[in-house]
Amino acid sequence: MPARSARRAARISWPPAGSLNRPPNAPANRDARSRQRPGCNPMRRRDLLIIGGLAAGALSVPKIYAALQPEFTFEPMDRPAGFRQVPFGAISGGNTPIALIGIGDAQPETPADDLTGSAACDLLFGEVPSGRVPLALFNDYYCTYCPAVSRVVQRLEDSGAPIAVTLHELPLLGQRSVEKARLALAAAQQGAHGAVHRMLMETPVPPGVPGLNRVARALSLNPDQLRADLGSADVSAKLDITRALARLFAIPGTPAMVVGRTLLVGNVTQERLEKLIEIEQADAAWPANCGKTVSSFS
């Protein structure tokens, strides 16, 4: 046999890679072997589609859950007359019973018992433009759920939702809460209540003068005026009014809001709040509960 033919025969007769020590007719490669072993099937296109479908389903669960949430259950409130509430969500509250809020501080100039009808609504909502649903937001800067709810309200405002937001500082979690509430109200004297509210909700600000100076620098406020307004009678009066409103509506903690004629206490999703705003806008009953007409808010 010529040398070239001998080499060719040797190459042909040599067992191919992976064929040593295997029985006759056994698969010649690992993939083939795995196809014959139960439980070792390689992932097929169908398997990938199933896994992808399960993943997509998991991502859609929150949306499905929100869509399946029951409609609001409204419960009429004894006072103020004409208002209603929905069952409470998760809140943060202090150790002071709501009936005792303000005890130990200067007493409100307007007791809760005297806040009725248009007087309560004026203090609660302020001026409400025509076509808007009033939303009075009560918060504490150390409240667990307040930043999330504040962001929800801010997103709705930014998206052009038909709401008119009024901020109410309700410090229930100690002296540090009172200090931050006063800082926000002092900034309101320079037209920066909303800006300081957002900063205090989203950014750690140290207590005392360092925190005041940081806020003043960040928002280009006059630090001397801010310091003077911090302990002013006007700021104290605004805190007293908010405490009186909280007693009137029996608000047990924060976050809380009055949307139209509905008290909503606790954490809330954007979808749920949007639904409530739609209901209040269609209902349009809140002006009558305030002793006003819709045109009087234009």
pLDDT, average across residues 143-172: 96
Neighbours of 110 (CB within 10 A): 16
Q: How high is the pLDDT of residue 109?
A: 46
Closest CA to 132 of 298, 293, 261: 298
Mean pLDDT of the chain: 77
Please count the CA atoms within 13 angstroms of the CA of 157 that sit on its side-chain side.
Answer: 14
pLDDT, average across residues 166-193: 96
In contact, 106 and 232? CB cutoff 8 Å: no
Please state, in angstroms and rounded to a whole number, the distance separating the CA atoms of residues 116 and 148.
31
pLDDT tens digits for range 21-43: 454 555 555 554 444 445 445 55
173-206: b or e for each residue (b if 16 or more CB lie within 10 Å)? beeebbbbbbbbbbbbbbebbebbbbbbbeeebe
pLDDT tens digits for range 70-120: 477 889 988 888 899 987 765 555 544 443 333 333 344 444 445 555 678
**113 Cβ contact partners less than 8 Å away, ≥ 6 residues apart:** none
- Rounded to two decimals, the pTM is 0.69
DSSP code, position 86: -
Please state, in angstroms and rounded to a whole number, the distance separating the CA atoms of residues 33 and 116.
83
Predicted confidence band of residue 195 (pLDDT cuts 50, 70, 90): very high
Q: How high is the pLDDT of residue 170?
A: 97
Closest CA to 100 of 230, 244, 275, 212: 244
Q: How high is the pLDDT of residue 43?
A: 54
In contact, 269 and 66? CB cutoff 8 Å: yes
The CATH class that applies to domain 75-297 reads: alpha beta
Predicted confidence band of residue 51 (pLDDT cuts 50, 70, 90): low
Please state, in angstroms and rounded to a whole number, the distance separating the CA atoms of residues 242 and 240.
5
Q: How high is the pLDDT of residue 121?
A: 85
Alpha helices per DSSP H over the chain: 3-13, 30-35, 45-68, 117-125, 146-158, 175-188, 193-202, 208-219, 223-230, 233-248, 270-283, 286-289
Query: 3-state class of 136 per DSSP?
Result: strand
Query: 3-state class of 134 per DSSP?
Result: strand
Q: Where are the domains of the chain?
A: 15-68, 75-297
Please state, in angstroms and rounded to a whole number, the distance separating the CA atoms of residues 219 and 264.
31
